[in-house]
Amino acid sequence: MMDLSSINPVVLAAALMVAATPILLAAIGELVVEKAGVLNLGVEGMMITGAVTGFAVAVTTGNAYIGMVAAVLGGAALALVFALLTQYLMSNQVATGLALTLFGLGLSALIGQGYVGISPPRTPKIDFGWLSEIPVLGPVLFRHDPLVYVSIFIVAAVWWFLRHSRAGRILRAVGENHDAAHALGYRVRAVRVAAIAFGGACAGLGGAYLSLIRVPQWTEGMTAGAGWIALALVVFASWRPWRALIGAYLFGGIVVLQLNLQAAGWRIPVEYLAMSPYLVTILVLVIMSSGRARRSLSAPGSLGRPFHAAG
């Protein structure tokens, strides 16, 4: 029998932010990458690499924050492999991204062999004092771990960077028309490599959030499609940071609600939800490969196109 009264909206809203954070981190990183005109389908691989490096380093050092830094570096390192292949060796971005995902899944399984079943050091929640005592708002907004706030800060920073800074304008220009940017004397490759590294770092941090805070444990393949959802989110957010935030929270809400509904006795096979990231990904890939749809969604003009400097 279903008992909806067991679902507490306040708890639900609080859990939603936690569920959304890893996807949000990965999505905001990929958003910057795509704004620079590069399509990196390796988000899932970078995420899980971040998850395992973060977990391993946190367990070894006993400090979760050092683990997160390691996750950032791990994600960025894998992203730089992608950058080397696509920007300097001119490999195909789609194929390389897919390979990166497979590689990341395999590599993480290898590294993580000795860490299954261990608990990581805890990440304390931030103490906001009286703020967290406010009814409803307190538990929803002010009783989280630091990364939840860091992720929101990153969204704001990316928004400001893309919208108001000169470097952000150059990044958008490179993504919009790389030939013109080159003609004006901008270093297309350097901008793109930097963006790819940032995307990897964010994905790595998102992965670490899963293994260190949300779950918190290491299991093989634990990202379970979160990277693909992040990719889809970037498209549905039409490459706008705040929309990505809303989208991530919506998705987090659905995940949490579904869990709650199951707990309340509503029987929907878990497989349906497990399927959804892949369905969504297929849909997004179809959209991305059609020139018309890309235009009407206001995708960056040079997205996924290889850049050869002429002359």
Partner 1 sequence: MTTPLLAIEGLTKSYPGVVANDDVSMAIGEGEIHALLGENGAGKSTLVKAIYGLVRPDSGQMRWRGAPYAPAAPHEARATGVAMVFQHFSLFDALDVAENVALGMDDPPPIRQLAARIRKVSTEYGLPLDPGRLAGDLSAGERQRVEIIRCLLQNPDLLIMDEPTSVLTPQEVEILFETLRKLREEGRSILYISHKLDEIRSLCETATILRLGKVVASSDPRAMSARQLAELMVGTALTPPERAGLAPGEVLLEVTGLSHRAPSAFGTSLKEISLSVRAGEILGIGGVAGNGQDELLAALSGELRSKHQAIRLKGQPMGRYGPNTRRALGLLCAPEERLGHAAAPEMSLTENTLLTAAWREKLVRRGFIDWKRAQGFAEKIISRFDVRTPGPHVAARALSGGNLQKFVIGREIIQRPEVLIVNQPTWGVDAAAAAAIRQALMDLAQGGAAVVVISQDLDELLEIADRFCALNGGRLSAPRPVAGLTMEEVGLMLGGAGDMEVAGEATAGAAEGAAHAET
By CB under 8 A, tell whether 287 contacts partner 1.
no
102 close to 218: Cβ distance less than 8 angstroms: no
List the one residue from 117, 124, 129, 291 that touches partner 1 (CB under 8 A). 291
Q: Which residue has the tokens 């971005």?
A: 93
Contact partners, residue 86, CB within 8 Å, separation at least 6: 38, 92, 93, 96, 306
Contact pattern from residue 152 through residue 181 relative to partner 1, giving x for each residue in contact according to CB under 8 A and a dash for the rest: --------------x--xx-xx--xx-xxx
Contact pattern from residue 238 through residue 277 relative to partner 1, giving x for each residue in contact according to CB under 8 A and a dash for the rest: ----------------------------------------
C-alpha 11/C-alpha 139 separation (Å) is: 8
44 close to 226: Cβ distance less than 8 angstroms: yes
* Binding residues for partner 1 restricted to 179-198, rule: CB under 8 A: 179-181, 183-186
Taking the least distance from each CB to partner 1, the nearer of 135 and 291 is 291
Shortest spacing between CB 181 and partner 1, in angstroms: 8
Taking the least distance from each CB to partner 1, the nearer of 8 and 165 is 165
The footprint of partner 1 (CB under 8 A) covers 166, 169-170, 172-173, 176-177, 179-181, 183-186, 291-292, 295-296, 298, 300-301, 311
